[in-house]
Copies of this chain bind each other. A is one copy, B any other.
Amino acid sequence: MTYTIGDVAKMLNISISTLRYYDKQGLLPLVARTKGNIRVFDDTDIECLKMIECLKATGLPLKDIKSFFEWCEIGDSTIEQRYNLFMEQKEKTEEQIAMLTDALARINYKCNFYEVARQKGTTNVPGLREELKLKFLKEENKFS
């Protein structure tokens, strides 16, 4: 099965210009072309793009993703590097999830805070603490 760049863009929800940009950056070194120079993507290219999306989602820079594909092409002598890359990325991803989980807890707190504030019509709700209140009250005092 083969696909045009437009097909791939729709399938993976990546813009055509981004796909061309990735190709130019050397992230898709193996994309075939027709005699008329039109890109022909196959299922392996789709798999590569999904891997790119996965690594990008975890914050790996494009140049490092490029390195990974270069290592794949070189072969078995680069297994150690590839292993290290994924082990490191695993750690970083776990850290990111932990950070986001923390952030989510704070945000949930705020959701509850503003839920109550919405009902009462004021952020001045006894029993609930808002981080910013002190200073804004100080500010109010300044103006009064």
Contacts and interface: CB of A to CB of B under 8 A. Distances in A.
Given A93-B100, A96-B100, A139-B73, A58 B107 contact: yes
Interface string A112-140: 00110110011100000001101110110
Contacts of A42: 135
A90 B110 CA distance: 10
Interface residues of A, number: 55
A94 interface: yes
Contacts of A57: 99-100, 103
A111 B44 CA distance: 20
B100 A104 contact: no
A141 to B, nearest CB: 13
A16 interface: no
A127 to B, nearest CB: 17
A132 B47 CA distance: 7
